[in-house]
Amino acid sequence: MPETKLRVEHLTAYYGGKPAISDISLDFPDRKVTAIIGPSGCGKSTLVRCLNRLHETGPFTNVEGQVLLDNEDIYQLDPVRIRRRIGMVFQKPNPFVTMSIYENVSAAMRFNGRHSREETDRAVTRSLQQSALWEEVKDRVDSPATSLSGGQQQRLCIARALAANPEVLLMDEPCSALDPIATAKIEELVRQLKENYTVIIVTHNMQQAARVADYTAFLYIGKLVEFGPTEQLFERPQDKLTESYITGRFG
């Protein structure tokens, strides 16, 4: 097992006093892709939203337990700084609609302090290259972000997240609104991103988890049922519940 980047210890997250996830302990390995799978309402999104302290921004929410980033409890640190270190991409592409492609990517830098034009240019180019969008937009970076297709907009959001130089990238069903071609591009991108980032991806699509993830966690009714190397989980799951879910024999 590679080194742990993010450690979750006895994490319980509540909505209005009811736990959405209960007593989850899990190690996310450094520079690997970890997929979180499970049926709707099992707490996948809640779990990832706890990993960069987004959960607590909702009304009537509460979190117990620890999330350790490089052994530091993120709940003892400044949430804004944590969200710089742990970026997030959401289900639906959400570019800043009034901004250009360039402005979308540089926005993260602007929020993080003053940078020279050269620094910003370099960071925008690097982020667009890392998100595999550069070749498609290099001649029109001043065009509105809304001129991009859905798949391109999602890669733009990834570029925007990468521009803040995060260490961990959370992706909450990043392909669910995309067609198969755009999905394939994002999946290829995820495989490349793990060279530099720890990636955690929530997905409903088990084939997608099998294709992109090194490790997979299966959640059911707010509990972690099984976690292990993806190949093992899909070929030889240890838990009967996991087997029932991934073979489609639930219920």
Partner 1 sequence: MNNDPLADTGLPRGYDLLVRHLKERAVKLGEWALAMVHDGWRAYTAGDLEAAQAVLDRDTHLDRLDEEMEHATIAFFVLRQPAAIDLRTAAALLKITTHLDRIGRLGFDMARITLDGTDAALNDIREHLQQMDEIVEGMVQQSVDALGDDRVELARELFRRDDTVDRMHREANRMIVVALEEHPDLAPRLANDLLVARHFERIADNACKVAEKTIYALTGQRRSEYLPRHAYHPYVLEKGPDPSPRSRK
Tokens read off for 64: 């117990």
For the CB of residue 226, give the shortest distance to partner 1 in the complex, in Å.
11
Least separation, in Å, of the C-beta of 210 and partner 1? 8
Enclosing H/E stretch for 102: helix 101-111
Of 121 and 243, which has the nearer Cβ to partner 1? 243
The pair of three-digit structure tokens given for residue 155, joined into one six-digit string = 């890669």
Beta bridge partners of 13: 21, 63
Gap between the terminal Cα atoms of the chain: 33
> Cβ 27 to partner 1, closest distance in Å?
23
**The only residue of 6, 206, 213, 219 in contact with partner 1, by rule CB under 8 A:** 206
The reply to whether 248 sits near partner 1 by the rule CB under 8 A is yes
The dihedrals phi and psi of 176, each to the nearest 5 degrees, come to -65, -20
The nearer residue to partner 1, 62 or 232, going by C-beta atoms, is 232
Residues belonging to the chain: 251
State how far the Cα of 157 lies from the Cα of 108, in Å rounded to an integer.
11
Number of residues that bind partner 1 (CB under 8 A): 13
Site residues (CB under 8 A) for partner 1, limited to 207-246: 207, 210, 234-237, 242-243, 246
Contacts with partner 1, residue ranges (CB under 8 A): 206-207, 210, 234-237, 242-243, 246-249
